[in-house]
């Protein structure tokens, strides 16, 4: 823990969030990640008082993002879709968001990384699933992939999305062993070949 762990008691000034990457959906969340390098830790600060008043989501603002950052943020978005879908606490609402988002991100990520600035359509395709991240989390809660980068990332220079992507196959295998209905649903929601 950093600080005394006190809840926020006053709302921030009104602000508008304008994301320039497409990963966690931070523009529509009530969370902030605080990095404390001298303690080698990242911690989460959460409060409904931190919600932006407006989020302006324009995929053209991601066109100049370097390929490595595009890949990492896209993998972050994909992880944030797969984990709640495979959660034992998934709901019909989270299932609907994830079933829609998983194939969108899976189909468009490689094209966005390879095409760079010219990847307008692939970037637009996964912009919506990335921005709906906060809608997926309230009921299912996070799983091992999205919990771990805060611990691992604070000790290294690796991007959150790259850490999530490295952990994802292992966490998926463990989660699928405990949820046969999710396994069947994941096959149906998977990317078209």
Angle between helices 144-153 and 67-86 (to 10 degrees): 140
Provide CB contacts within 8 A for 154, sequence distance 6+. Answer: 35, 36, 37, 39, 40, 41, 42
CB 126 within 8 A of CB 22: yes
For the stretch 17-60, pLDDT in tens is: 998 887 778 888 887 777 787 877 777 788 889 888 998 988 88
pLDDT in tens, 94-125: 888 888 888 988 888 888 888 876 667 777 77
150 or 15, which is more confident?
A: 15
Q: Specify the pLDDT at position 154.
A: 58
Quote the pLDDT of residue 141: 52
Whether pTM > 0.85 for this model: the answer is no
Q: ∠119-121-124 over CA atoms, to 5°? A: 105
Rg (CA), the chain: 17
135 pLDDT tier (thresholds 50, 70, 90): low
Q: Where are the alpha helices (DSSP H) in the chain?
A: 67-86, 92-115, 120-131, 133-136, 144-153, 160-177, 180-189
- Mean pLDDT of the region 142-150: 56
Question: What's the rounded Cα separation, in Å, for the pair 56 and 42?
Answer: 27
Would you give the distance in Å from CA 185 to the centre of its chain?
20
Cα dihedral: 42, 9, 89, 176 (round 10): -10
Q: What is the H or E stretch that residue 38 is in?
A: none
pLDDT single digits (tens) 163-191:
888 888 887 777 777 665 554 555 554 44
If you search the block for the tokens 């995929």, which residue do you land on?
Answer: 59
Task: Report the alpha-carbon distance of residue 115 to residue 122 in Å, rounded.
Answer: 9
Q: Quote the pLDDT of residue 27.
A: 84
């Amino acid at each position: 823990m950093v600080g005394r762990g006190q809840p926020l008691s006053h709302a921030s000034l009104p602000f508008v969030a304008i994301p320039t990457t497409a990963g966690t959906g931070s523009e529509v969340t009530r969370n902030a990640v605080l990095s404390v390098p001298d303690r080698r830790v990242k911690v989460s600060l959460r409060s409904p008082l931190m919600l932006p008043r407006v989020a302006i989501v324009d995929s053209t603002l991601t066109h100049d993002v370097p390929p490595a950052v595009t890949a990492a943020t896209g993998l972050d978005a994909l992880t944030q879709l797969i984990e709640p879908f495979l959660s034992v606490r998934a709901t019909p609402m989270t299932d609907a968001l994830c079933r829609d988002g998983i194939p969108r991100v899976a189909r468009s990520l490689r094209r966005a990384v390879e095409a760079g600035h010219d990847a307008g359509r692939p970037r637009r395709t996964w912009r919506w699933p990335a921005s709906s991240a906060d809608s997926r989390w309230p009921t299912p809660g996070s799983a091992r992939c999205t919990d771990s980068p805060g611990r691992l990332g604070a000790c290294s220079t690796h991007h959150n999305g790259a850490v999530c992507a490295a952990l994802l196959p292992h966490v998926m295998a463990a989660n699928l062993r405990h949820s046969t209905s999710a396994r069947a649903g994941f096959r149906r929601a998977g990317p078209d070949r």
